A and B are shown apart, each in its own frame.
Chain A
Amino acid sequence: MASLIAGGVDCDVHPAVPHLTSLLPYLNDYWRDQVTTRGMVDLASQSYPKNSPIVARPDWRPETGKPGESLEDMQRHVLDPFQLTHAICNPLYGVQMVFSEDLQAAFCRALNQWLAKEWLDRDSRLRGSIVIPTQSVEKAVAEIERCAQDKRFVQVLMLVMGDTPLGKRALWPIYEAAERHDLPVGIHAGSAYHNPPTAVGWGSYHIEDYVGQAQAFQTQLTSLIVEGVFAKYPRLKMVMLESGVSWISPFLWRLHKFWRGVRMETPWVDRAPLEIVRSNIRFSLQPFDAPPEAETLIRLFDHMQSDELVLFSTDYPHWQFDGQDALPEGLTPDLVRKIMIDNPHATYPRLI
């Protein structure tokens, strides 16, 4: 494996909310009463069943509770051994599944407060992502404005499968606020399950949902590019988190070809999709869907024609690699430095 270097940024770690009741201290009286009176249960999402092998590495799985719920474990498993300067926390709690915009806004606010108090306050290496209630764009923007005052929040977080494609104009106020506050928008694997989890319907298995994340990312990139998000917000960065990565070049070859063919339909797309991706889109490293041989990996990175697209991640506590082998075989020391340090800092302006 390529050698890790000290001082890196882990762009995708997942602190777990132990239970919905963990958020009670961060809810007002009305919502606290609603949660208890109505007997609301834990917001566990089908995207990440807690006992699924992919959701926690065997040696990162705690004896009790959810993988990723202990700060001490996260320090022991990644922050210390990988000699990180920063790790960006992307909570995957199932608040996006909620349909009521009021309830969702209350939960998102509580989740962000919980993250600040129980994680960011307790380890100065940690940074946070702002989870937003997308059932209401207005409330989502308000939550961005509130959290942006805390400079430890470095990103806005959305799921790759929600109610509508992410390029849709109704969502643009979110992107306007993110750009204004120097916050990239992280798009993470996972579904709100408001639509079938594949474009051809509901599959039978958890494994199918997980494989399908990569296709979901592809459709979102198409939407973001052709709707003109980056023509309107040229400084906005978006980070595809836990996307699988290796689909990117063939996907762009196809999009580019069709864009040349039917660009009269979306005349505001004034740059080639390839160029837009190189300037505005980034990808977290893990999982990197490729065989273990260095030769293939080198070809895949060469196809990207850029060493700026990939950002280091362990995807802690998900099981994407064993031991310290977070960097796939075949990366040069220069590329390792770009991936672990330079690219994350260039992507996240608030990361200081």
Chain B
Amino acid sequence: MNIQFRENSEAASLLTTKTAIADCDIHPARATRTELYPYLAKRWQHHLEIYGVHAYQGMMEGPPYPKAQPNASRRDAYPPEGGPQGSSLSFMQKQLLDPNNVQLGVLNPLNTGQGIRNHELSAALCSAINDWQIDKWTSKDKRLKASIVVGNEDGLSAAAEIRERAGDKNFVQVLLLSRNVEPLGQRRYWPIYQAAEEAGLPIGVHAFGFGGNPITPSGWPSYYIEEMVGHSQCQQSALASLVLEGVFERFPKLKMVMIEAGFGWAPSLAWRLDKVWQRLRSEVPHVKRPPSEYIREQVWWTTQPMEDPERREDLFDVINWIGWDRLLFATDYPHWDYDEPSRVLPAGVSETNREAFYLGNAKKLYGMAA
């Protein structure tokens, strides 16, 4: 975490010797406040200047829980030309893509139009972000692929945005956040799932977002660390909702990726779902199979932030229970809790599993396998 980046004269040689990886969670940022304006109608530019953005939380600027450092990002990730961390392609290439031999980098823009109360503005901002991802990032570096960001609370306009981008090879998934006005299995979100399934695109559900619900079922906690840890509980509840509302049953070709919420909790949640489903399945007859089967077949997990047991081998039990074919390596660049590719897997992992973990699973999922 937060490792200081140094100029490394060996960087060039590393590039040729390091195994290629996929980084399935990269956060591109805007360099300036108005960088999206060229992609927004005049009406929305005026709106932003006069009223700003009203999310499902009260702060006009910044998050309700102050991060541990600016933009929750590495202090060494400010681009030399200025602007916030993650806002410069050339510096991202130099700091992340080149030295780690990233062959596929999946962009997940945050602070977009998601979680905004004005749904028309939400849709306009999301569409602008999608254009911006092509112009600023994917058209300039072929290793990078974008996520279709959609106005999450209005299923119909979100589905329209997905259909408009379907078939565009700049995009490899649809992006949602875990926290919304309702749990993600609810019907208002189904048009999104239908459109993604039709387009053959996985849905990435990234930790975070605002939907107006307290981040614990017992109300709002006090600290940033509670929000951070709490994302994994939100993700569990969102996934439980998807299973129990029958989303995977109704959209059998839909694939979902749980991004940046950990994966250690997955076996316990699946066992609990199975056990309780045995007792209470008459309440949810649309859930036809044990919940763990849907999860095993239709859900993937990005790795960062890797759970960090005192004994590293304990984590392998968990990975074995999930399946080595379901994990997608991610760094979360440029955020402070970045996972360093060379350090996350200790020795003793088979070559096959190592390759799947770092690259193979991602290429297969995102349709880029050779």
**A→B interface (CB under 8 Å):** 52-54, 160-168, 191, 194-208, 210-212, 214-216, 218-220, 222-223, 226-227, 244, 246-247, 249-251, 253-259, 261-262, 264-266, 274, 287, 289-291, 296, 299, 302-303, 305, 319
Contacts and interface: CB of A to CB of B under 8 A. Distances in A.
Q: Identify the 6 closest CB pairs spanning chains A and B, nearest first.
A: A250-B264, A219-B216, A198-B237, A253-B307, A215-B233, A289-B272
A226 B241 contact: no
B153 to A, nearest CB: 12
A216 B311 CA distance: 26
A200 to B, nearest CB: 5
Contacts of B305: 254, 257-258
Q: Identify which of B217, B245, B262, B336 gathers the most chain A CB atoms within 10 Å of its CB.
A: B217
Interface of B: 1-2, 68, 178-186, 211, 213-226, 228-230, 232-234, 236-238, 240-241, 244-245, 262, 264-265, 267-269, 271-277, 279-280, 282-284, 305, 307-311, 314-315, 317-318, 321, 336-337
A259 B225 contact: yes
B3 to A, nearest CB: 12
9 contacts: A196-B213, A199-B213, A207-B280, A211-B272, A215-B236, A246-B271, A261-B337, A265-B223, A290-B268
A258 B65 CA distance: 15
A162 B218 CA distance: 5
Nearest to B245: A204
Contacts of B268: 214, 244, 246-247, 250, 289-290
Contacts of B283: 205-207
B230 A219 contact: yes
Contacts of A198: 183, 213, 217, 237, 240-241
Given A200-B178, A265-B225, A289-B272, A210 B217 contact: no
Given A219-B229, A227-B223, 19 more contacts: A53-B282, A54-B276, A161-B217, A165-B219, A165-B220, A194-B219, A195-B213, A196-B213, A196-B214, A200-B211, A201-B182, A207-B280, A207-B284, A223-B221, A250-B307, A255-B225, A262-B228, A266-B225, A296-B321
A296 B214 CA distance: 34
A52 B280 CA distance: 8
B144 to A, nearest CB: 27
A251 B264 contact: yes
Nearest to B320: A299
Contacts of A256: 308
Contacts of A264: 68
Given A208-B241, A219-B233, A165 B221 contact: yes
Contacts of B307: 250, 253-254, 257
A299 B224 CA distance: 32
A250 B182 CA distance: 26
Nearest to B219: A164
Contacts of B225: 222, 226, 255, 258-259, 262, 265-266
Nearest to B315: A253
B240 A165 contact: no
A259 B337 CA distance: 12
Given A161-B217, A289-B275, A218 B233 contact: yes
B230 to A, nearest CB: 6
Contact of B180 (A201, A203, A249): A201
Contacts of A195: 213-214, 216-219
B218 A244 contact: no
A286 to B, nearest CB: 11
B217 A212 contact: yes
Contacts of A251: 232, 264-265
Contacts of B265: 247, 250-251
A175 to B, nearest CB: 16
Contacts of B237: 198-200, 203, 212, 215
A219 B272 CA distance: 17
Contact of A163 (B180, B218, B223, B284): B218
Contact of A220 (B218, B262, B308): B218
Given A200-B180, A265-B225, A289-B268, A191 B217 contact: yes
Q: Identify which of B181, B275, B318 gathers the most chain A CB atoms within 10 Å of its CB.
A: B275
Given A201-B181, A246-B268, A211 B228 contact: no
A246 B237 CA distance: 16
Contacts of B222: 165, 167-168, 223, 226-227
Contacts of A226: 222-223, 225-226
